[in-house]
Amino acid sequence: MPNQSIFVSDIHLCESRPSITHAFINFLDKIASEYNAIYILGDLFEYWIGDDSKKHTDIINAIKRLTNRHTKVFLMHGNRDFLIGHAFEKKTGATLLKDPTLVEIFDKRVLLSHGDSLCTDDLEYQTYKKEVRKISWQNDFLKKSLNERLLIADQLRKESELKKKNKSNEIMDVNIDAINQLIIQFNYPDLLIHGHTHKPDRHPMDINGYKIERIVLGDWYEQGSYLTFNANGIKTNQI
């Protein structure tokens, strides 16, 4: 079973930045379609207010084109689009993955995560996340009108931008103990791939004598980037 895979995260699709939407659809049609699977590891959208939203139909159609052919699409929630639900899966043919998820690719054990749960120094964010990931919060939110939800999402984004200004880079980055814990919990996978921090890099690690590589995916604010994993190995790519 060939399992050439491609990984992206933090595309942050938003109607106010149509060029990124265009570039991403082009990427799905021309590049991702050559692979057996694409893993979108969170923050595909700048915000997602519910599957009943009428926005981003061009993206939904582009994902559907992939799944209709022979590319499996796996999707993980990010901190911006955690309200993507089963209706979205149905419309696109994509499969939602839990965060974290362990997969096997070319005999490597690959642990996937969005990455926000590793930023444990950002206590304020972790408290906020606990609240908005409650079923009760989500049910209350989804009961509101689309307009009301848009306003709240906008407000939350503005608050988060303001808060970020007062936080150091270290606080918003991943915590190394949280990474070590996760690696041990999953019995030393070969690779950990995540996004969220917008600090694309490859970090070789040695944990208790095990060699592990942590790969951080880049965001799509300035330019597109993606990671490929095929028979030739692992490679980072820019668009």
- In the bound complex, what is the minimum distance in angstroms from residue 225's beta carbon to Mn ion? 15
Window of 86-94, 120-128, 142-150, 190-198 that interacts with Mn ion by CB under 5 A: 190-198
Q: How many other CB atoms sit within 10 Å of the CB of residue 68?
A: 10
Residue 43 lies near Mn ion (rule: CB under 5 A):
yes
Give the residue at shortest CB distance from Mn ion. 196
Q: Six-digit token pair at 148?
A: 């009301």
Window of 63-71, 77-85, 129-137, 215-223 that interacts with Mn ion by CB under 5 A: 77-85
Residue 214 lies near Mn ion (rule: CB under 5 A):
no
- x-marked contacts with Mn ion along 140-159 as a string, rule CB under 5 A: --------------------
Among 21, 79, 113, 225, binds Mn ion (CB under 5 A): 79
Q: How many CA atoms lie within 13 A of 70 on its CB side?
A: 7
Q: Which residues make Cβ contacts (< 8 Å) with residue 154, sequence separation at least 6?
A: none
Q: Distance (Å, rounded) from C-alpha 131 to C-alpha 137? A: 7
CA Rg, the chain, in Å? Answer: 17
- In the bound complex, what is the minimum distance in angstroms from residue 77's beta carbon to Mn ion? 10
Residue 196 lies near Mn ion (rule: CB under 5 A):
yes
Sheet holding 37-40, edge to edge: 95-97, 72-76, 37-40, 5-8, 225-230, 233-238
Size of the site for Mn ion (CB under 5 A): 4
Q: Which stretch of DSSP H or E encloses residue 194?
A: strand 191-194
Residue 218 lies near Mn ion (rule: CB under 5 A):
no
Among 50, 78, 218, 224, binds Mn ion (CB under 5 A): 78
Residue with tokens 């700048």: 46
Beta carbon nearer to Mn ion, 149 or 196: 196
Q: Distance (Å, rounded) from C-alpha 190 to C-alpha 202? A: 13
Window of 51-59, 72-80, 133-141, 143-151 that interacts with Mn ion by CB under 5 A: 72-80
Residues that bind Mn ion (CB under 5 A): 43, 78-79, 196
